[in-house]
Structure 1
Amino acid sequence: MISEGCSPFGPFWDHYLQYWKESLTRPQEVLFLKYEEIVFDPLKVVRKLASFFGVPFTEEEESNGVVEEVVRLCSFNSLSSVGINQTGGVERAGGKIFIEFSSLFRKGKVGDWVNHMSKEMAEKMDILVEEKFKGSGLKF
């Protein structure tokens, strides 16, 4: 489905590329983050988000561990254990599609795709990513 550009949330490739381009032309209005960078350095990303929204952390908040607490509360383990994320869902396309929130949480690990894609699928995806994002500067 994704390889054809389809997802329950709209045309995948166009969606990503449009947000990427907008983040380059309007960096004060559009912030583009990749999952890998969030996982690699969540403290840096939370600080970046706070600044982007115009509410950077104060020195007092920094020294009192507020940034670390935000990261803890927004962690995969914390969010995946919230009741609504285990049992709730959302309808799309006039009720034709129902997405369970629990399906949005797998393992929370970078690179887990290797457990879900064959070598051939991964090669096809690499070619598609290169083709779709060619010349944009967007890399995955």
Structure 2
Amino acid sequence: MSDTLTQQPVGEASGSARGELDILDQLMKPEVQKSLTELVEHLPKLAEMVTIMTKAYDIAQTVATDKVLINDFAGGLSEFVKPITDKAKGIASAAVEAGDRAQSEQTSIGLFGLLRMLKDPQVQKTLRFAQAFLDVQAERQKQR
């Protein structure tokens, strides 16, 4: 048989024959035979895994191509995100306006100005928040 393989002309036929010999040589190795035996022993598990993965792929493919589901998901997400973005835009707008006002005013705030500011409900709310935030941070540092 080796004589017929070596006598074939160089080309596709000899290339495929050489490939067949390489495969046979590989199959004769003990480590390849051991691996094949293990693979055959695990075929039922592999078949089950492939079946599960195929089902998961089919579901993912269906979900990814379902226009109605995608539109519903996008609509639900936008309803969730819109109030947050609106609030963030409002806060950013207020911060920019406050920065502009602070830049335009050149007056100094003295002791009596600070005392008047302390009576402002917004200042009181901000100070209470700052105090609560600092208390929480201190508690967390003690826990570490």
Shorter-chain TM-score above 0.5: no
**Shorter-chain TM-score range:** under 0.3
Q: Which structure is richer in relative contact order (CA contacts within 8 A, separation 6 or more)? A: 1
Which structure would you say has the larger Rg? 2
User: Normalized per residue, which structure has more strand?
Assistant: 1
